[in-house]
Amino acid sequence: MSVSYRAVQWNPAKKAYDRRLAFVIAGYLAVFFIAAATAFETSPLILAMRACGTAAIALLIFILSIGPLARFSPRFSALLYNRRHLGVTMFLLAFAHAALATVWYHGFGVLEPLTSILTSILTSGSPFEGAAQIPFQPLGLAALVILFAMAATSHDFWLRNLSPRVWKLLHLGVYVAFALLVAHVAFGALQDAVWPGFAWMLAAATAWIVALHIAAGVKEWRADRVRRALAADGWVCVGEVERIVEETAEGRAKAVIIDDCRKVALYRENGAFSAISGVCAHQGGPLGEGKIIDGCVTCPWHGYQYIASKGQSPPPFFEKIPTYELRIEGRTLYVHPQAKPPGTPVPPCKIAGLEGASS
């Protein structure tokens, strides 16, 4: 995890992941060129440019899909695990696409390629003259710059040094890049297409991404809106002890939201409950959906671990997350609304009659 930074931290799962990724991309390029050989004749460099461009956009749609899909089913978690390798690969494909277009369309002329690009951008027609005049290369270029910033800062080194907030914000740029790329294709390749199916495919892909994110957002929002009763001293009621015990398997957590926005994970471990922040210190993964493995809460996204009663990663790691106090009154479980500073140990709240079971 975070003791030292290595270029990329490899493990068998990541290697298998990358092998499959390389296999699918190689397969894509092979299918593309075989299909091209049997279709209309196209210049080889233009083919390569199209192959890289379409592969990049298909990969981006996949990348943007697995996040919200994982909100609906944990089966997608395995895809999330190594998502940044997908992102970096996607950037490389987009870069190859741009480099080929630069060499082929802007090379061999009376202007230097970069001068030619700049001249093209500065002299392009006004967007008000119709779709045929809207310059599409600057849209692609802007997306590429964003994707580059993201690929360059994808390592955990940057996550730590830029602070997770800034990092997350920067990486939300992927949605800006996606919008730019949809426009890049719509005002570029689609203007030359004769088959209307391409426009429908782009529209369908865009609609899929938007709908998926709205659906995932609505699901979160619903979960966030549960009204919680408060005790006289401000402690927040999270429910009947019996129900919570029933709903939560040993080693698992009940995820609750308090104050309309704060995520808390109530972990059941050895007949007691510990409350920790539901947000992973790494990239904000949902700790409420994690599991206790070897005595540590394990994040479902990349497997960061925490000792539930301490709010800290086990040594030698030093990630810390906020903890919460719990108390039982009558048959109701309450959580203190004030989070303890990250890494503050809080004794687990024993549940009478619940035997400690080993995980």
Report the number of secondary-structure helices (H) and strands (E) in the chain.
12, 11
Query: Residue 91: which of other proteins, ligand FES, none does it interact with, CB under 5 to 8 A by kind?
Result: none
Query: Residue 13: which of ligand FES, other proteins, none does it interact with, CB under 5 to 8 A by kind?
Result: other proteins
CB of residue 354 vs other proteins: minimum separation in angstroms? 21
Query: Residue 125: which of ligand FES, other proteins, none does it interact with, CB under 5 to 8 A by kind?
Result: other proteins
280 binds ligand FES (CB under 6 A): yes
Query: Residue 282: which of ligand FES, other proteins, none does it interact with, CB under 5 to 8 A by kind?
Result: ligand FES
Q: Which of residues 203-242 bind ligand FES (CB under 6 A)?
A: none
Q: At residue 181, what is the residue type? A: L
CB of residue 7 vs other proteins: minimum separation in angstroms? 17
Instruction: Give CA–CA dist 157/323, Å, rounded.
Output: 25
For Cα atoms 229, 233, 237, give the angle at the middle one, nearest 5 degrees: 25
Question: 138, exposed or middle or buried, with CB in 10 Å at 0-12, 13-18, 19+?
Answer: middle
How many residues does this entry show for the chain?
Answer: 359
- For residue 332, the cross-strand partners are 240, 329
- For residue 255, the cross-strand partners are 265
CB of residue 359 vs ligand FES: minimum separation in angstroms? 19
Task: Annotate each residue in 291-320 with x if it binds ligand FES (CB under 6 A) or - if it does not, as one string.
Answer: --------x-xxxx----------------
Question: Residue 134: which H helix or E strand, with range?
Answer: none
CB of residue 284 vs ligand FES: minimum separation in angstroms? 6
Query: Residue 314: which of other proteins, ligand FES, none does it interact with, CB under 5 to 8 A by kind?
Result: other proteins
Nearer to other proteins, 2 or 332 (CB): 2
108-119: b (≥16 Cβ within 10 Å) or e: eeeeebeebbee
Contacting residues toward ligand FES, per CB under 6 A:
280, 282-285, 299, 301-304
